[in-house]
Structure 1
């Protein structure tokens, strides 16, 4: 076999004349270069670990403190107030330690202790400053004097040039809201959805819960918040994601799209090569902690914990629960093409493969004429079906021999790449091009993505890209951060030749891609087929519509002096009311990353104020002035609730954790059962964009992403993801189920469009009258 010959680094023969040893200089050279790279990487990690460990101070500041203490001693001034002398007396008696040496060592030890104490003071001062959340509740552009002073202090104590994890030890913990406040906000959130009798009954149940067992549950939860880093995140990952036994395809995984209007090259292998090389560059900076930390308002640091698991991560199936496997320094990639799996090495001679070399590797896979082995074609559908059959099959059929080796290669890969044999992307002249593109990214053929990997990079035949991401390890902004870097690096740094190939030379000694081998028995093939059948039913039921709203965007909404997010959320409430003739419990995801290991919280966007506004829009007796007044009240209410969620005063994560404690204690709570069983018939999320500002949209207005989306959450509901792109475009990704007679994604998209235009008209009418 070719790979066996390439693996031989030396040969020897034994004869009567002794041992004849033949060494391969080329292999030894690569062994040497690989070792140099490995040690260099360790040295950089060690250095950056020190820089992060002493932040906001720096190693050079230690020298400054030591020199200062030494200088005061020579000036016969004792800044230690006798501590240096006490340290000197504790030193052992030795002929090698003179009095002068002991004095120097004592001074250095004191200076080091003083320096570490100053670092702790700086960190806890910054932590106290970051515990203040009043800035969030102030109107944008109207900062109070106290907030301005606070922001300057945060900047002062934040130091210069922080690394990715520099602020982790200074971030405050997520606070536990009071039970009284949570129940009050909960009752307020369900009031517009219940009639008087239903609401009175809910009020009775909630007040009974507040008396008992809420105080008992709350005490345990407060204890957990003191002991753990974050009282929500570990339980959220375990119980919402990893313990779920239903398929993660469509139900959990989400997708991210490529640039909307631009395709830098139509050569599939070349586009894949640039994207992979950009990801390797991103991973190198990530492993070294060299990315700049994200900051809200450019000042307040956000938690970077989730970023650790972007690469080299796989969700491993289990009988009762899955677990997330994260590794380090994975040097290979697994590529899927037309039913075959290939391993591709990402390093050569101690360096990343150049884009041109990666292109050559991927082109070899595209040109490979071999057929899939029995059971190989739809093997990945195991990751798309129910978790228990996959876990059992993994234990029985993939725990030994070639199957174990090949599966291990996939699960330990940096990430998973699919060279898709279809062509997708947005084409204005094709009515459903965006819909088909989204469905392909969300579920594909149900067997051409490895849904357990942290993310799948999908490269289509026409050069378009996309991602399918597993949700348990992180949330969408983390994936979006990496994706922005990859797309910008691909288009503006790596580039392509005139004929669309990747740039760079190609080494002649690169090892060929290695085709993974499988021995899948007929019983296992039956399990694979059943998983595929179930996954296909789920995929075929997804009704998707991509809606490009180009009438106006963020620019016009800001002129209306309202939040773009509040504007869109109220449009969604109005659209849903027109679509179904009723209001429903609405989920909007917000982030809590200003706290250590924070993830998300729910904003319950359906409020008394939003329902009053939506009802007024179709009430002929209401004037435009009255509608506009109700709009502003609803927008202000929404912004207030969003801010509460961001600052740890949301409703749903608190109630979720109280429920988990009740299950551990064996306490039955009708209130918590009812709360957690309520369906989210409208689930919404805003896709962040321009987190890194690597693309100047004023100079390059066509280099915009279409954002991403997710599958429907409720059988009879809608899932809506939206991205506010630049000043003049908003993209909506709408999903529902064909099996529901109550929903229609295209119809809902048209209702959203009309709702946006109707709200705009309120402001235009007011301007015209003025």
Structure 2
């Protein structure tokens, strides 16, 4: 019997799919693709009266070939050796998280954290969406608590079903990727340390703090249980029912109400996590040194399964010169106010802990969303979890008809002992955070003129590439030049794969944009140029997704250099090498976004844009962020230009479709 079960187990293990390792790309292919990516920039330099394209390109080819024959071969061999010594892959195991995220010293607020605004829950009473309630306690309403409890239960239920294999088991590659990725969202946090942050280790499975949620309210932190304690060490903790989670949240609300009545105010430690990372590191160390209570509270925050922030107000913005394209009758002010609530605004900025990878946010009118620290996993991952959380609206029958006045056990205050220095740092950190927020020109565009159905069915073009061409044309119309453009491509087909860069600006995309800007250019010429640009973009997408991109490889090669031994390369010292990676247009597509009102992330450069788009069958939503302080950018103007470009491209494709489908008659 033992032999049979062992053989069966071995068969099951052999049948289980495994993800391949991320390859180290071929050096010559990477250099050739890198040179191709420089062509549009060199052509632009020539157009602007700088060096000729031919001479500049020949100069870069010379650099690339010298690199390939010399130091490049040495670096490639080192990278291959590193890959052989790596458990999962050469990139993620060794330096991706540090270089892409943890070494950044800029505040996470807007600069790094992503945000998602959820659609309203249609199952909630309309009266709940006003933010006014006779049962409001400490500014927190009954249905606000219930929506929060429901979302928490849904999200953690999804996590549990993944953990047990009930959903997306590891018999599929999708299941492997989802379980690996989503496991990084929970029970950890980013820890500030000088020069380079770290990610906290996951707590042991039997750690009581791992069964609790971090709740923030009126800038106070609490830990509330969301799982029942296991009956034995080998048992899996049972997730609490929505009504039990509701009871825990309500207990905290009542405690906060009493604290406010007593005239207490929180030490807003959360706003310190919105500060410059080195400054937060110094303040965190000082805070932990003041009193053992602080170290205990901080450790519980790190170990907590996820975050929940309850805002006691509904943020509004006054009517202004905003152009609304919402086809569902929702005003632009409402859309943007909701988006700003999740991103953060001056009144709720301290009611967060920005170092957690996933935090749900619900305000007093039941508007909800999520935000998170970006390092552990890419934004698509929490968006998948969030969609599961909101696809089913609040079931009123899951809650008790009347409040249970008995005090639930298990919740605890996470208080802080603060000295004068910390109090002063909180005030100053808040002022710096508000300055960042007030400079953030953040809005959502709902374009309902058409969507992916029309792009695929009538235009017969790839939707993602089509949208990228929209953004290229809009940028050029507003700036009169081209810029390096970043598009995220997932490498999810590989073990512990993360992302690769797709360099959207190509020789073909440039030619198409210039054709659109030339009033003398024939429509057929424009259309053929668009087709070529989209074909090129689709090919680059395929290459990036299959481990044949260039930017991660070039990063790996640079990191294999030993400057302390005098190693250097003219290839990496070239100003064009740096310019080709100045992503003033940073873009990412997410999903159809049926359940999201808007999304967002910050611009990488102060004179650029951060753009996330959701492409649905009949609508495209754009979340756009730029800086008010830059005279070169305007989110409102860019929105209007995107709409203009979308209609121009529809006219072009529709015209060519009509011409090509018109019957040809024979004249005898």
Name the TM-score class by shorter chain: 0.7 to 0.9
Distance 1:218-1:263 versus aligned 2 partners, 3 A rule: farther
2:31 to 173, 176, 183: 183
Distance (Å, rounded) in 1 between the aligned partners of 2:10 and 2:228: 45
1:354 to 207, 229, 241: 241
The corresponding residue for 1:366 is 253
The corresponding residue for 1:224 is 82
Distance (Å, rounded) in 1 between the aligned partners of 2:365 and 2:123: 9
Distance (Å, rounded) in 2 between the aligned partners of 1:717 and 1:578: 14
The corresponding residue for 1:734 is 624
Q: Which runs of 5+ in 1 are unaligned?
A: 1-65, 67-107, 124-165, 691-702
The corresponding residue for 2:532 is 633
The corresponding residue for 1:766 is 656
| 1:157-196 superposed matches below 5 A | 167=17, 170-194=18-42, 195=45, 196=53
Q: Deviations over 1:258-316 (max 9, x none)?
A: 126847353211111101111221232233243205999x9897464222222111111
User: Structure 1 length as normaliser, TM-score?
Assistant: 0.73
Distance 1:485-1:117 versus aligned 2 partners, 3 A rule: closer
Of structures 1 and 2, the one with the larger relative CO (CA 8 A, separation 6+) is 2
- Deviation at residue 660 of structure 1 after TM alignment: 1.1
- Deviation at residue 611 of structure 1 after TM alignment: 1.0
The corresponding residue for 2:68 is 210
| 1:244-283 superposed matches below 5 A | 244-259=104-119, 262=122, 264=124, 266=128, 267-283=143-159
- Deviation at residue 658 of structure 1 after TM alignment: 0.8
Secondary structure in 2 matching 1:172: coil
Distance (Å, rounded) in 2 between the aligned partners of 1:269 and 1:451: 21
> 457-466 or 244-253: which moved more?
244-253
- Deviation at residue 187 of structure 1 after TM alignment: 1.4
Distance 1:374-1:653 versus aligned 2 partners, 3 A rule: farther
Distance (Å, rounded) in 2 between the aligned partners of 1:689 and 1:663: 45
The corresponding residue for 2:378 is 475
User: Structure 2 length as normaliser, TM-score?
Assistant: 0.83
Distance (Å, rounded) in 1 between the aligned partners of 2:282 and 2:196: 12
Distance 1:364-1:523 versus aligned 2 partners, 3 A rule: same
Alpha-carbon contact 1:356-1:503 (below 8 Å) kept:
no
Alpha-carbon contact 1:424-1:462 (below 8 Å) kept:
no
Distance (Å, rounded) in 2 between the aligned partners of 1:382 and 1:375: 16
> 352-361 or 539-548: which moved more?
352-361
The corresponding residue for 2:447 is 549
Q: Deviations over 1:511-568 (max 9, x none)?
A: 2743332210001222223322222222211111210000111111111211110110
- Deviation at residue 202 of structure 1 after TM alignment: 3.3
Aligned residues: 599
| 1:235-250 superposed matches below 5 A | 235-250=95-110
2:585 to 640, 664, 682: 682
Structure whose alpha-carbon radius of gyration is higher: 1
Distance 1:294-1:577 versus aligned 2 partners, 3 A rule: farther
1:437 to 338, 348, 370: 338
Q: Deviations over 1:114-140 (max 9, x none)?
A: 6676567x45xxxxxxxxxxxxxxxxx
Is residue 412 from structure 1 mapped to residue 303 from structure 2 by the alignment? yes
Alpha-carbon contact 1:303-1:598 (below 8 Å) kept:
no
- Deviation at residue 633 of structure 1 after TM alignment: 0.7
Distance 1:347-1:306 versus aligned 2 partners, 3 A rule: closer
After superposition, the CA RMSD in angstroms is 2.8
Distance 1:300-1:455 versus aligned 2 partners, 3 A rule: closer
Distance (Å, rounded) in 2 between the aligned partners of 1:299 and 1:250: 30
The corresponding residue for 1:324 is 199
Distance (Å, rounded) in 1 between the aligned partners of 2:414 and 2:178: 38
Secondary structure in 1 matching 2:370: strand
Distance 1:663-1:279 versus aligned 2 partners, 3 A rule: farther
Q: Which runs of 5+ in 2 are unaligned?
A: 46-52, 129-142, 231-237, 317-325, 663-668
Distance (Å, rounded) in 2 between the aligned partners of 1:175 and 1:461: 49
| 1:266-345 superposed matches below 5 A | 266=128, 267-292=143-168, 302=177, 304-325=179-200, 326-329=202-205, 330-345=210-225
Is residue 717 from structure 1 mapped to residue 616 from structure 2 by the alignment? no
